[in-house]
Amino acid sequence: MPVRNAYLSEIQALADKARDKRALYGPDLDLSRYTQHIERGKVESLESLSHQVKEAAILSGMNMKEENRSGSFLQIDQSVVYESLNKAYEGQLEMMSTPAALDKYDWLEEYYWKAVSADQDKYTAQAALNMTHGYFIRVFAHQKPQYPVQSCLLVAENYVSQNVHNVIIVEEGAELQVITGCTLSKSDAEGIHLGISEFYVKKGGKLMFTMIHNWADNFHVRPRTKVVVEEDGAFISNYVLLKPVKSIQAFPVAHLKGDRASAKFNTIVYGLKDSYIDLGSRIILEGKDTRGESIARTIAADESVIYSRGDLIAATRGYCLAHLDCRGILFSEKAKIFAIPELASHGSLKSELSHEASIGPISEEQVEYLMSRGISQEDAVSVITSGFLNLDIPYIPEFLDKNIKEVIKATAKEAL
């Protein structure tokens, strides 16, 4: 049975009141600019895609041969063009578009728009009023697929508003790894991506979620993410942004509701050109013996502006432990970095919250040391930058790993 129409109407009524509600952070955008709607047909395989689309998808973490993947999902503009579940994992998990899941399961009402509020701001409102797919992934209880699910949300045309709503449910004792990318196949595309993501990690479950963003000079991005983690559950987020973007503003929240739940955010950002980047994370530690960690590594080059935010909120009557580690490097006199850590304890007498924040240049001592070992100054800077941004993400395609290294090497001269 599908989700009740009455419930969907309630969400739309709530969103309708927030059509013009500005977000707390980031530049305000005129959504009326992005009205083009494009319907596309299904493709038989990822290999049958055009070279341009395949290259963009690969750079966002997709494996075109679907090797070492438990499933694949590809959306281009407003259409789901490909979805496939590896037969070896049938009975362990399911994957489909979110509208298809809403048509299939009435119980999805317990999750859909329950973590993220439809009236949070104008961007959530737009996604609620004009949803254009997104993915639904559910891992069945105590199942642990060996390989990750991969997804790609791609924009191919100008003036598109891609309004996706993603729901992931990791049931009790289950584990899942997701590699997902959001990207463009046209380097000059102007548009906006609105990504609503609601993740639920049940008792003893584990979700590792890796997001790779590859945008362009005229593109805006407004993700809205909330993760609910139950008793003994774990959530790990890896986020990578290495290309220019007109503006991006995101502040994902992990709510540790269950005892001994944990969350970790790893964020790597390379600001280029005149990118306006406002990213952060919040961990709410509500259960007893909960743990959280947020690590951010940012580099600002050219005329980019980066806000790196981090919130830890203790809201438990038991013990909790959490740490923020936010570090930035400036590569340009015209670039800006703002590190904004925040700790809050709501009557949590046993909480231990800490933070470390720093902004500075590449260490001259480290460069001189490597040069004394016979390494050129440019290569020394590249080595240090690579180490600073190092994030060991399993199952990333070799093509993408090579691209990350090339981006770092190409911009190393700016730090000299």
Q: Is residue 239 situated within a structural domain?
A: no
292 with 402, same domain?
no
Q: What mean pLDDT, rounded, does the chain reach?
A: 91
Q: Is residue 240 situated within a structural domain?
A: no
Q: Is residue 241 situated within a structural domain?
A: no
Q: What is the pLDDT of residues 76-119, one digit of tens each?
A: 999 999 999 999 999 999 999 999 999 999 999 999 999 999 99
Beta strands of 222-303 (E only): which ranges? Answer: 224-229, 234-241, 247-250, 253-256, 262-271, 276-285, 290-300
Segments forming the whole domain that contains residue 119 = 1-234
14 with 131, same domain?
yes
Banded model confidence at residue 272, pLDDT cuts 50, 70, 90: very high
Q: Is residue 289 situated within a structural domain?
A: yes
Domain boundary among 207, 234, 261: 234
Q: What angle do CA 202, 203, 204 make, to 5 degrees?
A: 110
Which distant-in-sequence residues (6+ apart) come within 8 Å of 51 by Cβ? Answer: none
Instruction: Name the residue type at position 42.
Output: K
| 410 has pLDDT over 90 | no
Q: Is residue 396 situated within a structural domain?
A: yes
Closest CA to 390 of 376, 375, 408, 374: 408
Q: What is the pLDDT of residues 325-342, one digit of tens each?
A: 998 888 889 999 999 999
366 with 355, same domain?
no
The DSSP secondary-structure symbol of 90 reads B
Domain boundary among 234, 268, 293: 234
Structure confidence at residue 394 (pLDDT): 63
268 with 378, same domain?
no
134 with 229, same domain?
yes
Domain boundary among 323, 342, 360: 360
Structure confidence at residue 40 (pLDDT): 93
72 with 134, same domain?
yes
61 with 188, same domain?
yes
Q: Is residue 242 situated within a structural domain?
A: no
219 with 76, same domain?
yes
Q: Is residue 333 situated within a structural domain?
A: yes
119 with 88, same domain?
yes
Q: Helix (H) and strand (E) counts for the chain?
A: 7, 21
- How many domains is the chain built from? 3
| 415 has pLDDT over 50 | no
| 163 has pLDDT over 70 | yes
Q: What is the pLDDT of residues 132-153, one digit of tens each?
A: 999 999 999 999 999 999 999 9
Q: What is the pLDDT of residues 350-393, one digit of tens each?
A: 999 999 988 877 777 877 777 787 888 777 777 777 666 665 66
Between residues 381 and 8, the one the model is more confident about: 8
Q: Is residue 282 situated within a structural domain?
A: yes
Structure confidence at residue 255 (pLDDT): 98
Helix (H) or strand (E) holding 11: helix 5-16
Q: How far apart are CA 69 and CA 48, in angstroms?
A: 18
Buried b (16+ CB within 10 A) or exposed e, 344-363: ebeebeebebebeeebeebe
| 224 has pLDDT over 90 | yes
Between residues 361 and 210, the one the model is more confident about: 210
Q: How far apart are CA 64 and CA 397, in angstroms?
A: 10
